[in-house]
Amino acid sequence: MTNYIVVTGGVLSSLGKGVTSASVAALLRNSSLKVSMLKIDPYINVDPGTMSPLEHGEVFVTADGGETDLDLGHYERFIDATLSKRNNFTTGQVYQTVIEKERRGDYLGKTIQVVPHITDEIIRRIKAAGKDLDALVVELGGTVGDIEGLPFYEAIRQLKHRLKSKVFNIHVTLVPYLAVADELKTKPTQHSVQELRRIGIAPDMLVLRSEKPIPKEMKRKLSEACDVEADSVIEAIDAKSVYEMPLKFYEDGLLKPIAKSFELSDLKPDLREWKKLVKRILEPSREVVVAFVGKYLELKESYKSLLEALIHAGAHNDAKVKLKWIDSEAFESEDAQKTLEKCDAVLVPGGFGSRGVEGKIKAIKYARENGKVFLGICLGLQLALIEFARNKLHIKNADSQEFNANTTEPIVYLIDEFIDQSGGKQIRTHQGPLGGTMRLGEYECNVKAGTRLAKAYGGAEKIYERHRHRYEANGKYREACEEAGLIVSGEAKGLIEAIELRDHPWFVAVQFHPEFTSRLQNPNRAILAFIENALKQKSSA
């Protein structure tokens, strides 16, 4: 039977339940156990796909096309595994499924209630995600006491009642430091545990988030007050890098109570490579400055996977990737030379909508004309094509139908069906309620031999990367672009997936999102090559 580790949170949000859950899973995985993870989001949205990045942060895309919570990105990066739609579900999905069953008559005329119908559906989804595993780590979003979370806490209580020792509850809380009193305070944790116990769940372990070390006496006090074993009170002190947390948790003995509860032998994870990479993150021997030209800088969580992927690439190059944040909207009126000349590379990430687009095009033009190492992602590729058409092919009205639906020169356009020109096969698409067709999830990309993209991926002829976009590069302009020095280095069933410049040190743009497949121990090849070439250009300058 699968063992279930359920992680809940109290006091306030953003305590690090996701990193705690991912760290626990990473330790179990490196102990040779078969492990996966599940994120439960109590919000009523069916998924975060229609939510603003400023509202919810990044939308993480799974290989099978699921638009999920950004915590799934943490999970994949920590356990180096490919997760799917079933590893994340929301209140909206649960109620949608139950209502659909009721409409079909599956409940044989019964009155549909939160208990047992909603809670049974929650338990069914948890067990489906845990099938054929040694352990499933389940993170419940929000905080204990939230109204929208109550059905999920009840389901977890029932799961514990049914499976007994196969369920282990970890509760993450805050131990705040009051500077005026020069004291750490345990009362918020005690109240949070009281609320959890009122619901019917007794925590098996406390993870205490704090900015200062927690004295043994205070741990002992919380152990007694919250009815938790002394060795199950674990501290989570602020760290310089989230990748330190598995190491810190292991040193604090987090695995011992879990192994004891599940009747497992002593768990001794192999953390040698992890330690080496963390040391490089904390004490790099080199530094590279990347101009990050984005439009969601008010909430950098919007670019979470990309920021982490840059950390991974830096660690594998023993370098710190220092970002110079450039607001693309403000950049439209700035001096490109003055702003970018001191940067070692330019990165233009993805995004939606017309705001700040001209600033991104300005940065791309500078990188192209000045031989600056450049990486464009998703919208970054589309804008690189538009910039090339305007300034190299002299197509003054070159634009995207996303920004100008009536453009006479649609370098980037919307097509409702993606068809292979040679074989007539359709590419898998997703039709959303907002209109338009979106490519979501993993697709095969054919790589042109001898290109920088091929070199980045070790000479691979085919690669598999994830997408999240509606608009495509228009193949009508391909021949003219190639005659002027642009190379289409990646394509999928007639669609342009990657481009680069023939006479440039390293200028690559991709339609896919390489950051979604980057992990600490296995960085994405395109982003790794980007940082490698930025360092190379810097050292030769």
Domain annotation for the chain: domains and CATH numbers: 3-45+122-276 (3.40.50.300), 284-412+473-540 (3.40.50.880)
Residue 420 pLDDT greater than 50, yes or no: no
d(CA 530, CA 281): 17
Residue 14 pLDDT greater than 90, yes or no: no
E strands along 79-141, which residues? Answer: 88-90, 135-140
Residue range 408-432: mean pLDDT, rounded = 61
Residue type, 502: R
Query: ω into residue 151 within 30 of 0, thus cis?
Result: no
d(CA 356, CA 365): 15
For residue 430, the model assigns a pLDDT of: 47
d(CA 241, CA 275): 12
Report CA 519 to chain centroid distance, whole Å: 10
CB 411 within 8 A of CB 477: yes
Residue 428 pLDDT greater than 70, yes or no: no
Residue range 194-206: mean pLDDT, rounded = 97
Determine what percent of the chain is predicted with pLDDT higher than 70: 95
Residue range 504-516: mean pLDDT, rounded = 97
Q: Which residues pair with 516 in a beta bridge?
A: none
Determine what percent of the chain is predicted with pLDDT higher than 90: 84
For residue 437, the model assigns a pLDDT of: 63
Residue 294 pLDDT greater than 70, yes or no: yes
C-alpha distance from residue 408 to each of 382, 397, 399, 411 (Å):
16, 7, 8, 9
- By annotation, the residues acting in catalysis are 378, 513, 515
**Top mean-pLDDT range of 38-47, 50-59, 445-454:** 445-454
Residue 417 pLDDT greater than 70, yes or no: no
d(CA 343, CA 25): 37
Residue range 172-200: mean pLDDT, rounded = 95
Where residue 59 falls among pLDDT bands split at 50, 70, 90? confident
Where residue 56 falls among pLDDT bands split at 50, 70, 90? low
Locate 53 and state its tokens. 């990045």
Residue 398 pLDDT greater than 90, yes or no: yes
For residue 433, the model assigns a pLDDT of: 44
CB 188 within 8 A of CB 11: yes
Residue 389 pLDDT greater than 60, yes or no: yes
Least reliable range by pLDDT among 50-64, 149-163, 311-325, 365-379: 50-64
CB 192 within 8 A of CB 11: yes
For residue 432, the model assigns a pLDDT of: 47
